[in-house]
Structure 1
Amino acid sequence: MENQHYVALIVGVTGMAGLNIAQVLKKPDCMGGPWKVYGAARRPPPHSWFPPSLVDRFIAFDAVDAAATETNLSPVAHEGDEEANIAVNRTMLHNVLTALKSSPSSRLSHVTLQTGTKHYMGPIQDPTRSNQLVGHEPPFHENMPRLPYPNFYYVLEDLVASHAPSLTYSVHRSSIIIGASSRSAINALVMLGAYAAVCRHLRLPFRYPGTRYTWEHFCDMTDSEVLAEQHVWAAVTNKAKNQAFNCTNGDLFTWKRMWKLLSEVFDVEFVGFDDEDGFDVVECMKDKDEIWDEIVETYGLLKTKLKEFACYEALKVVLHFDFQHVSSMNKSKEYGFFGHADTFKRVTFWVHKLRFMKIIP
C-alpha cells in the first residue's frame, strides 16, 4: 500500500480513543497521510460534538451481529463476568476481521488493538474473582507474562495474532484514559464531572471516593491524543509491527493533588480525605438519575442519561487499588515513540472541552 493511499477503519469512533484517532489521522502532517478514514459505531454521533469532516464515511452497525457486520463492512473491505466479556468482545472483533478480510479486494494490512492495564492486573471488575486476584508488581512492563485468569484482552491479542502474516498488528495498553466523549462506557472525567455537578446541585461535599492508599500514592493516566498518536505511529512504523506497547502520559500524580485540581475545575470546595465512615460513591450516585436529568435541563446539556456513561463501580475499583497504578514507557521510547503529556494540564483541557461539548456543566 502506498503512503498516499492509507485507509483507516476506526471501530468505536465515537469513544475517547476512537474520536482522537480520527482527529490525529485528519491532521495535515499525520504520519502516513493523507488518510481516508471510515468511522464505525453502533449509533451515529451527534453533530454537536462530532464534526462530520472527521470521517470520510460513517458506518453504523452492531459488531456483535455477524450479518450486520458483514453487510456494513464489506464495502470497505462490560459489565458481568470475564467469560461474558470474552464471548462478546471476541465475537465483535472476529466479525469485523472476517468481514474485512473476506472481500476479494480486501486491502486490510494492519490492525491496532486497544486494551489496557487489566492485562497486568487480571479481571478486576469480575465480581466472582476480584477478591482473589494476584497481579503483577508495578511498574507494569510489556514483557510480563500473562496471568492465570480469564482475560478478554488476551483473547483479542491471540485473535489478531492468528491472522499473521497476512496482516500485521499492534497492541496498545493504556492507563486511565482522559478525553472527551459521551459515548465511552467508562470515562473517568465525565463520571467525576457528573458527581461534582450533583454535589453542587444538592450542596453536598465533593468527597474523594477512594482509599487513603490511592489518595497518597502514585497513579498515571493516558491522554487520548497521545494514545491516538501511538496508534498511528505503530500502524506506519515497520519496527513497531506485531508488538505491544504501554501508553501513558509519562508523568505521575497522586489523587490528593488531582483532587485539588478537580475541585477547582469543577467549581466545588476541596474536601480533604476522610475515611471514617467509608464513603461509597456507588451508593451516593445510584439514585441520582432524576437529579442528573434536572442538571441536564438546567444547563442545556446534551441529552444523556447517567447510566449511559456513569459506571461508578468501575471508578470505585480504580480508586481502591492497593498498589501504585503505574506503567513503564521504556519500550515505546526504545522503539521510537516519544509522545507525552502533562496530566494536570490535560485534565483541565479536557474538562473545558467536555463543557464546550455540553456533556458536563
Structure 2
Amino acid sequence: METAQSSNSPNSSPSSSASSVALIVGATGMVGLSLAEALNNPSTAGGPWKVYGVARRPLPTWFPPSLLHKFITLDALNRDETVEKLSPVAHEVTHVFWVAFQLREIEEVNISLNSTMLSNVVAALISAGANSRLSHVTLQTGTKQYMGPIYDPEHGSRLVMHEPPFQEGMPRLPYPNFYYALEDLLASDLPAGVTYSVHRSSIIMGATPRSIQNGLLTLAVYATICRYKGLPFRYPGNKYTWEHFCDMSDSRLLAEQQIWAGTTEGAKNQAFNCSNGDFFTGKGLWKVLCELFDVDFVDLDDAEKFDAMEMMSGMGDVWDEIVEKQGLYKTKLEEVNCFAAMTVVTNFKFQHVCSMNKSREFGFVGFYDTFKSVRYWVGKMREMKIIP
C-alpha cells in the first residue's frame, strides 16, 4: 500500500503553527469523517489542528481531501508496515483518535484483531522516544460494554446483561469482549504522562459506505429498493422495539465529545457514554424514514414474521441497477447493508438507552435531536452520491 498526500489540499504542507496534531485511525468511517470536519473548524478546542488520516483502503472519491494534511493507507495488523508508514509522523502526533475496528462473529477473534491493531499503532508512535509528542488517545467503543458479545454465535444467545439505562460505572460482564481488551491495553501500555479516554457510543449515525455498522445507510438502501420495486417498506423488528425506547449517537456528537475529552484536563483517563440525549421508538423512526424516502407507512403486523435480511439478500442486482441509473458512488449491496446486525438490534427485548449523566457532570453538555440527525445524514449521503 502507498502513502498518499492530497496535492490539492490547502493544508497539504506541514504547518508549524499547529498546536495539536491528530491521527485519526479509521478516518473514512462515520466518526472519522466527522472528526476530520470538526478538527478543521478554527474554533475547535486545542487548535489549530493538523490532521492525519489513516485507513486500510485508499481515500475514496467522496471524502474531501482538503480535510487532511496527509492520508496514509496501512494495514494496522502488520506491525512492520505500521511502523514504516507512521514513523515519518510519529514525532508530530499529539492526539490519536481511535475509531477503527474489525469485526468477526467470534469475540475471541475480535479481541485478537483489534488488540493487535491498537498495540501496533501505539508502538509505532512511541517509537519516536524522547521526540514523541503523544499526549492523549481517545478510544471509541460502544454499548456492547453493557450487553456483551451479542453477535457471537456461542455467547450471544445466553447473555445476562445489565439493566438499562446503561451507566459507565456498571461492572464488566463475565464474557469475552474486545472493548475490555482495548481499554486494558491503553491503561497498561501507554507511556507515563500519556492519557486516554473511552467513548461508548450507541447506534451511530453518519455518512460513509465504509462501515459495516452504518444502520442508517442500511435502512436507506432498504427503503430505496422498496420504493424502486414497489414493495412495502416493512419494519424488520419485533413489537417491543416498535413501541419502546432506543437511542442513537450522531457521529458529530461523538467527534465533539472525543475532542473535548482530549483537550480537557478533568476528562482524562475516564470512560463516557455518548448518545444524543433523547429517545425514540421504532414506530416513530419508521414514520420519519417513510417521509424521507417517499414510501407508504406500514404499521407493524406482529402476527406475521418478516425477514428483511432474507428479502434483501436477493436484491444485489437491483441495487446495481439503481447505482448505475442514478450515477451513485459504486458500491455493492453487501458493502452498504448490515441487516444481520440490524435484525438483532430491532428484535431486542429491552430498552436500549444510555445515561449521559456522567458526561454532563464532567462538563460535556452536547446533544442532538435524533430525528433532525436522521434527516441531516440522509441528506448528507445524498450529497455524497451514496444513496439517490
Instruction: Name the TM-score, length of structure 2 as normaliser.
Output: 0.91
For residue 3 of structure 1, report the CA deviation from its aligned partner. 9.8
Residue aligning to 1:40: 54
Q: What is the SS of the residue equivalent to 2:113?
A: helix
Could you give the per-residue CA deviations for residues 123-168 of structure 1, whole angstroms, max 9, x where no partner exists? Answer: 0011111110011000000000000000000000000111343410
Residue aligning to 2:10: none
Residues 178 and 223 in structure 1, CA contact (< 8 A), matched pair in contact too: yes
Residue aligning to 1:63: 76
Residue aligning to 2:278: 251
Residue aligning to 2:97: none
Matching residue within 96, 100, 114 for 2:125: 100
> 1:353, 1:66 → 2: CA distance?
36
Indicate whether 1:160 and 2:186 are aligned.
Answer: yes
Indicate whether 1:75 and 2:88 are aligned.
Answer: yes
> 1:157, 1:65 → 2: CA distance?
21
Structure 1 residue runs without a partner (length 5+): none
What are the residue-to-residue correspondences of 1:192-211 with 2, within 5 Å?
Answer: 192-211=219-238
Matching residue within 17, 27, 31 for 1:17: 31
One-letter amino acid of the structure 1 residue matched with residue 322 of structure 2: I
> 1:353, 1:287 → 2: CA distance?
27
Structure 2 residue runs without a partner (length 5+): 1-15, 91-102
For residue 79 of structure 1, report the CA deviation from its aligned partner. 2.5
Residue aligning to 1:175: 202
Residue aligning to 1:88: 113
Matching residue within 236, 261, 271 for 2:288: 261
Indicate whether 1:124 and 2:150 are aligned.
Answer: yes
Q: What is the SS of the residue equivalent to 1:222?
A: strand
Residues 104 and 110 in structure 2, CA contact (< 8 A), matched pair in contact too: yes
One-letter amino acid of the structure 2 residue matched with residue 22 of structure 1: A
Residues 3 and 32 in structure 1, CA contact (< 8 A), matched pair in contact too: no
Residue aligning to 2:20: 6
> 2:169, 2:64 → 1: CA distance?
39
> 2:324, 2:308 → 1: CA distance?
23
Could you give the per-residue CA deviations for residues 233-283 of structure 1, whole angstroms, max 9, x where no partner exists? Answer: 000000000000000111111111110001110111111111222101111
Identity of aligned pairs, percent?
A: 62
For residue 227 of structure 1, report the CA deviation from its aligned partner. 0.6
Residues 277 and 367 in structure 2, CA contact (< 8 A), matched pair in contact too: yes
> 1:349, 1:14 → 2: CA distance?
18
Q: What is the SS of the residue equivalent to 1:8?
A: strand
Matching residue within 241, 250, 254 for 1:214: 241
Residues 59 and 71 in structure 2, CA contact (< 8 A), matched pair in contact too: no
For residue 59 of structure 1, report the CA deviation from its aligned partner. 0.5
Instruction: Name the TM-score, length of structure 1 as normaliser.
Output: 0.97
> 1:19, 1:37 → 2: CA distance?
11
Matching residue within 319, 325, 330 for 1:292: 319
Residues 85 and 152 in structure 1, CA contact (< 8 A), matched pair in contact too: yes
For residue 309 of structure 1, report the CA deviation from its aligned partner. 2.9
Q: What is the SS of the residue equivalent to 1:183?
A: coil
> 1:358, 1:268 → 2: CA distance?
20
One-letter amino acid of the structure 2 residue matched with residue 56 of structure 1: H
Aligned residue pairs total: 359
One-letter amino acid of the structure 2 residue matched with residue 242 of structure 1: N
Q: What is the SS of the residue equivalent to 1:113?
A: strand
RMSD: 1.3
Q: What is the SS of the residue equivalent to 1:76?
A: coil
Residues 3 and 33 in structure 1, CA contact (< 8 A), matched pair in contact too: no
One-letter amino acid of the structure 2 residue matched with residue 148 of structure 1: P
> 2:349, 2:194 → 1: CA distance?
39
Residue aligning to 1:187: 214
Q: What is the SS of the residue equivalent to 2:87?
A: helix
Could you give the per-residue CA deviations for residues 285-339 of structure 1, whole angstroms, max 9, x where no partner exists? Answer: 1121111111101111100111123121011111011100000000000000011
Matching residue within 63, 68, 71 for 1:50: 63
